[in-house]
Chains A and B, each alone.
Chain A
Amino acid sequence: MMNNSGASAAGSSSGSGEGQAPRRNSKRPKYSRFTQQELPACKPILTPRWVISVFTLVGIIFVPIGLVSLMASRDVVEIVDRYDSACVPPNMTDDKVAYAQNAAIDKTCTRILKVPKDMDQPIYVYYQLDNFYQNHRRYVKSRNDEQLMSAKKANDSSGCDPEATTGNGTIVPCGLIAWSLFNDTYSFIHGNKNITVNKHNISWKSDRDHKFGKDVYPKNFQNGALIGGAKLDPKKSLSEQEDLIVWMRTAALPTFRKLYGRIEVDLKANDTITVTLKNNYNTYSFNGKKKLVLSTTSWLGGKNDFLGIAYLTVGGLCFFLATAFTVVYLVKPRKLGDPSYLSWNRNPQGH
């Protein structure tokens, strides 16, 4: 129900403006539709028909989208393996932190994964950390983008506290994020063949090109008293250190996955994969979980039922509302704009 009332309003008012000879120096305000607040306007109101059809329409659109999204998500094959506690030797389960901090202990651990369904390449390898606050304010700010970008700013470590400098000078890359770089490694054996994990192009291209300098090399990295995470190859420029680049894209939530690499072979259902991993990274002190994730992808991304379910629910609710409003409309019709509903038009004797 849209009425274009502007035409009639403008028509009625223009009459008053005419007919007078143009007076000189008149202070009469100049007529324009804007100044007289008479711009043609459409004034939609919430009629039952309009509202009910909107809800129905939303329902009609949402349910198919929900189905498609859900199917896409269901098509994704995902293998998730939590290994942090399983990889601790049985004799050290009481003191996992000590296990993690003891460099002398060999951290190698073997896991066997079973492929539930066929997985077409590329298969993405993620590591997932739980309860790891990359978004902590102290952490998320502890970096220096300029230093990462250009060699000229190598001595600029502002904002990197408390991992800014060592005795030898400025740390490159400085800051807590780089310092705590994830250092578990995985290698995969499929049957008896090694599967190569492609670690190229796992980071964003934009980051490699414009955020991490090609002429910036690690310096004084992990030389301090306390070793945080992985070490970097001082020969490779930062733009080639893709694990670092991925890690430096801080996650917004305490549970996150980061891309480790790609497996570029197809896996068949019921295949077994043997993973040999180095369980170096200490998540035990804060009860964090570590998971290895192998996943295919769809047009919607990884396995995530949320969108599909949400769409189906919303679509359903819209249908419900549309029906409810229709029923109410039919059972208890109410005349729109009846002046007798106006309180001052009601019989005053009643009060």
Chain B
Amino acid sequence: MSYHIFQSARAQIYSIPFYLTTLGPPLPSLSVPFSRNPRPHSPLRGSARVRSPETSHPARRSSPAAAWRICVIIERNASQSMMKRFVYINDDSSQDSYCDNRISNRKYTLLNFLPKNLWEQFSRFMNQYFLLIACLQLWSLITPVNPASTWGPLIFIFAVSATKEAWDDYNRYLSDKQANEKEVWVVKEGIRKHIQAQDIRIGNIVWLRENDEVPCDLVLIGTSEPQGICYVETAALDGETDLKTRVIPSACIGLAPEQLHKIKGVIECPNPDKDIRRFDGNMRLFPPFIDNDLCPLTINNTLLQSCYLRNTEWACGVAVYTGNETKLGMSRGVPEPKLTAVDAMIDKLTGAIFLFQIVVVIVLGFSGNIWKDTEARKQWYVKYPDEGPWYELLVIPLRFELLCSIMIPISIKVSLDLVKSLYAKFIDWDEEMYDHDTDTPSHAANTAISEDLGQVEYILTDKTGTLTENRMIFRRCCIGGIFYGNENGDALKDAELLNAVAKNVPDVIRFLTIMTICNTVIPVRSNSGAIMYKAQSQDEDALVNAAACLHMVLISKNGNTLEVNFNGSVIQYEILDILEFTSDRKRMSVVVRDCQNEKILLLSKGADEAIFPCAYAGQQIRTSVDAVEQYAQLGLRTLCLGWRELKDDEYEEWSHLFKEASTALFDREWKLAEVCQRLEHDLEILGVTAIEDRLQDGVPETIETLRKSGINFWMLTGDKQNTAIQIALLCNFISSEPKGQLLFINGKTEDEVVRSLERVLLTMRITSSEPKDLAFVVDGWALEVILKQYREAFTELAILSRTAICCRVTPSQKAQLVELLKSCDYRTLAIGDGGNDVRMIQQAHIGVGISGREGLQAARAADYSIGKFRFLKRLILVHGRYSYNRTAFLSQYSFYKSLVICFIQILFSLFSGVSGTSLFNSVSLMAYNVFYTSTPVLTSVLDKDLTEKTVMQHPQILFYCQAGRLLNPSTFAGWFGRSLYHALVVFFISVHAYAGEKCEMEELSMVALSGCIWLQAFVVTLEMNSFTILQHLAIWGNFVAFYVINCIVSTIPSAGMYAIMFRLCKQPSYWITMVLIVAVGMGPVLAIKYFRYTYRSSAINILQQAERSRGIILSMGTLESQLKSVEKDVASLSITQPKNRNPVYEPLLSDSPTATRRSIGSSTFDFFQPSRLSASYSRNCKNN
């Protein structure tokens, strides 16, 4: 609230001086004298200062009330003078205090790279741990192995991570550089020069040509259009695709381009903020330009960064915000490093292992000390001194700490980094995600978060340009009750319509006339003679073009006259008034005089609900209503057209009122609307047009598939509510009435909003058991109220609802919604294509940018950029799923293999007087961790449990990833148990087979090590699902490499294991032992796996069997047809039932009741907020 007060106060500050100037002598900008140092050499400046003292007195005298208000304002002003900036137009020497226009998304600089990067790396627990271990190893008394065995990998790991970060940052630097070095025209010392965008300083005058991107936030001062307007496309900023009109401030009207070069003045504006809908500034020009006028500036006088100048030959403006301080830059926010759910889980498991390790260390340390005091003192050959140093009690525990430090595998970070970058490469390389139309391949900018793709629960999507193609096409129409275009889907090719046009059917002609005239389209004749239309709205553009195809061509619009060419004859109209479109009125009209018969016509078009009530009494509008409904169901955007002939005196009377209203100072919009209302009645409804805002290819299928896989969709758009709902209907986002229901949260006041929110919530709770597809719709204003004060209720709503449509939301609201879902502990994916989506993309766990027509803003900020929305399906179901599966296996396996070797060490220490002797030597340990066991498992990046086709056919399988079924404490417990078992097997078999005369230390250690290697090879083989040549190479090649390397090392006399390998290889007992270890180690694992696979199969297993037990070519056909019938029911159910997660997922759950992430979370580790688990409505308590 305080923010609002502040805002309105500021608004007053600017408005009052403006009004005062109209009454008497002008009031100077209030704070100019306070905050700027006088600059004696500027004559313009001097005159401004001279004027200020003489003018301020009369103003204060004007009235006591005004004086008081001004005092208040001054006071506030003084306290807020920090919040303002003064921009001196065209004055290079004064603007040094502000930043230049260099955009920087970089994280590091050359100097701070090393400390900052190290600091960041060491903020992860694992790294701190490894550093501690490495430091401890420097103490030779306690170290069981060579310190190099930890320092080497540690330094390597850090180097790899740092290099990667540096590379990423370098790429960011390059893309910044590209934007920064773009050439722009800027006036310097009165001459227009070509400079780089980064050299724009505040106060510079920037010239833009048509289709130029605005390089920084500008205050418009001149355009090519005589009326002083220009058109901008703000899509990259707020997602709205229609062209917006920007006007030059009144003070600058009528300045010639030459004058604009020399213009001087000052602009007072607030300090940079991120509000893209508000700009409250003042402008004063210095003589010889218009004196004395303090001209207020609003957002309508600005050109904001990343907008495009359209339909205007040139425009120029004064830079007021630059670089990262622009409205867009401020709303960009600082990207946080993202951590995937898998990473978080790995960290937690690491923490658990760490605790376990501490326990082991304490127990062993204790018993070691006891053993030392009781037994070892008797062992004269150990020669324990009677009196040790004070730290002696610590030595054995610390030794065990070091011995057990391998429990947490140092290789896991390297392996994960490696495979993650490969996942990212696979995305980059994927041909099926390559967009032919725009020649863009997919790209993974963030290489670290692919697993999260497989765990997405919520997708928040932008609408324009993301779901739609952003191209409007006229498709159908209904004129006077006759439908055109229904047969072939294109009215322009409908012979009946063409006939009607040829026959001059009056209704059709009038219909076409409205299509052609009732708009704000500007026809432009290009050099070649062709006519191009410049439209603010894509719909109007589509209508005019369609009319032109039907031989009603808008030729020119000069001032108020308008010429139309119909079948070769030119008809002239005079535009009398334009009753503009507003989102409240939802219609627009024009009043024209037909120059042939001097009749005055009112032509209207608008939304059905805005036009039908204006129909004259008794008209049959039934067919039009039907048409609207029919078209809406097809997902077409409909507009109703109507007309009426006006009597001269009626118009004269109304025209007077209209002029009055359009000059009103207060409530102008409302007054205008009221006046328009007086004219727009008794219309004859001519018919309905239907325009297609084409969805991108495959959007409905993609959304349907992804929803089947259990992902919820929210649509966040800056666009209007109706359009949003239409598109939502069209792309399976929501279902129309009988199946689905939309619940609206709206209201004019806060109370109304709250009541409506409660009502919706109540409906949700009641109907949550019914098979109905509920979705709620909320607009930006209501959202602002709700997020500020009723967050809890809204959170509940968010949890209950699978679908939501939020329209007219600002970029920061989008980000807030993402944050809200994140705070409910859902994995969120935000997808968008414009600059207005950047914050949401950065806020979400995963940001996906569509590198589309709205520029590359979003794609640059996103973690993944794709060419088309439909690629999202593949990104999630194929890449996300595989990545998750692979990482789940890889990470658990990494722990498993470290635990095996560590358990063997622990077991050995029980046989070595609990003194902390390492069975294995440093080289073997290091090679085991870093090489022997890391390489084969890396090929799991090629592992595919199911083919891509199967996954696409059964998207439900994604649930395993979403719920984290493959990596959670219970699966981890399985691996833990396996490692313990394997350690026991390896150790006891080695010890027994190599007992007595053969139990030489080096030999036994090598036997145990090779036992581990043998087991690893088979474990990886058993856990891998598909074997390419690379897997075979890695697994068996590694196996061979183990022997080759060890044989080579065995030839080095100084090595501890000199000659060991050769001796072992010659012994039959060695090979027999190995085979025994494998059989005993793998037998039970295989048996259990087989039993589960066959008799307790998971859905993945079933699909694997289905996929492979039949021949592939044969199966896909038959299987498909078999499944299709079943799936049809399921598909319909899954759309209609908000609770369909229950029937779908409960059986999965019952397979292993503890296997979901969440249920485990509450019992073993306190991972998740208890409030959420206790909430009875929580949809994710899937076993309710």
Contacts and interface: CB of A to CB of B under 8 A. Distances in A.
Interface of A: 1, 3, 5-6, 8-9, 13, 16-17, 23, 26-31, 35-37, 39-48, 51, 54-55, 58, 62, 65, 69, 124, 126, 128, 132-140, 145, 149, 162-163, 176, 179-180, 204, 206, 210-211, 228-229, 249-259, 282, 285-287, 295, 299-302, 304, 306-307, 310-311, 314, 317-318, 321, 325, 328, 332, 334, 336-346, 348, 350-351
Nearest to A254: B911
Contact of B144 (A17, A137, A336): A137
Nearest to A206: B1059
Given A37-B944, A253-B911, A344-B1144, A339 B430 contact: no
Nearest to B1050: A206
A317 B1083 CA distance: 9
Most buried by B among A1, A6, A339: A339
Contact of B995 (A6, A48, A51, A304): A304
B1097 A163 contact: no
A252 B913 contact: no
A252 B1000 contact: yes
Contact of B1000 (A250, A336, A340): A250
Interface stretch (B110-118, B164-172, B914-922): B914-922
Contacts of A9: 947
B383 A162 contact: yes
Nearest to A285: B378
A26 B434 CA distance: 11
Nearest to B1104: A45
A147 B1030 CA distance: 47
A58 B1053 contact: no
Nearest to A306: B992
A16 B431 contact: yes
A326 to B, nearest CB: 12
Contact of B1130 (A46, A51, A128, A344): A344
A39 B251 CA distance: 69
A249 B1001 contact: yes
B1090 A252 contact: no
A231 B996 CA distance: 25
B1083 A318 contact: yes
A253 B1000 CA distance: 8
B218 interface: no
B996 A249 contact: no
30 contacts: A16-B431, A29-B430, A29-B441, A36-B430, A37-B882, A41-B944, A41-B1027, A43-B1027, A46-B1093, A55-B1083, A133-B912, A135-B908, A137-B912, A139-B382, A145-B1054, A162-B383, A176-B383, A250-B1000, A252-B911, A252-B919, A254-B911, A257-B996, A287-B378, A307-B1069, A336-B1106, A337-B1104, A339-B1123, A342-B956, A343-B1147, A344-B1099
A341 B1101 CA distance: 10
B180 to A, nearest CB: 23
B431 A321 contact: no
Contacts of A338: 1102, 1106
B616 interface: no
Contact of A37 (B384, B942, B1113): B942
Nearest to A250: B1001
A135 B912 contact: yes
A62 B1079 contact: yes
Nearest to A145: B1054
Contact of B379 (A8, A133, A204): A133
Interface in B338-390: 375-376, 378-385
A351 B1142 contact: yes
Contact of A314 (B144, B439, B1083): B1083
Contact of B1090 (A5, A46, A134, A179): A46
A104 to B, nearest CB: 19
Query: Most chain-A CB neighbours within 10 Å: which of B908, B1089, B1109?
Result: B1109
Nearest to B375: A286
A1 B1108 contact: yes
Contacts of B1095: 328, 332, 334
Contacts of A30: 429
Contact of B999 (A51, A137, A253): A253
Nearest to B919: A252
B382 A256 contact: no
A42 B1102 contact: no
A296 B344 CA distance: 59
Contact of B911 (A26, A37, A135): A135
B84 interface: no
A28 B441 contact: yes
B1026 A43 contact: yes
Nearest to B1094: A334
A42 B1143 CA distance: 34
A337 B1123 CA distance: 12
B1026 A42 contact: yes
Interface in B850-865: none
Contacts of B1067: 301
B1109 A336 contact: yes
B1126 interface: yes
A191 B912 CA distance: 42
Nearest to A54: B1086
Nearest to B1059: A206
Question: Which of B911, B1090, B1133 has its CB near the most chain A CB atoms (within 10 A)?
Answer: B1090
Interface in B407-459: 425-426, 428-432, 434, 436, 439-441
Interface string B1056-1075: 00110001000111001100
Contacts of B944: 37, 41, 43
Interface in B1084-1131: 1086-1087, 1089-1090, 1093-1095, 1097, 1099, 1102-1113, 1119, 1122-1123, 1126-1127, 1130
B1004 interface: yes
Contacts of B1122: 339
A172 B171 CA distance: 62
A35 B1030 CA distance: 13
Given A26-B439, A43-B944, A55-B1087, 13 more contacts: A3-B1108, A3-B1111, A6-B1028, A28-B434, A29-B429, A55-B1083, A180-B381, A206-B1058, A253-B1004, A301-B998, A321-B1083, A334-B1095, A342-B1099
B1083 A43 contact: no
A43 B1025 CA distance: 6
A285 B1146 contact: no
Contact of B997 (A149, A259, A306): A259
A14 B334 CA distance: 43
B399 interface: yes
B993 interface: yes
A45 B1108 contact: yes
A213 to B, nearest CB: 11
Contacts of B429: 29-30, 35-36
B864 to A, nearest CB: 15
Contact of A210 (B911, B1002, B1053): B1053
B1147 A346 contact: yes
A162 B1110 CA distance: 71
Contact of A228 (B381, B1054, B1104, B1145): B381
Given A136-B915, A342-B1103, A351 B1146 contact: yes
Interface in B918-948: 919, 942, 944, 947
B1076 interface: yes
Nearest to A65: B1072
A160 to B, nearest CB: 11
A134 B995 CA distance: 14
B1029 interface: yes
B1054 to A, nearest CB: 7
B998 A302 contact: yes
B1104 A51 contact: no
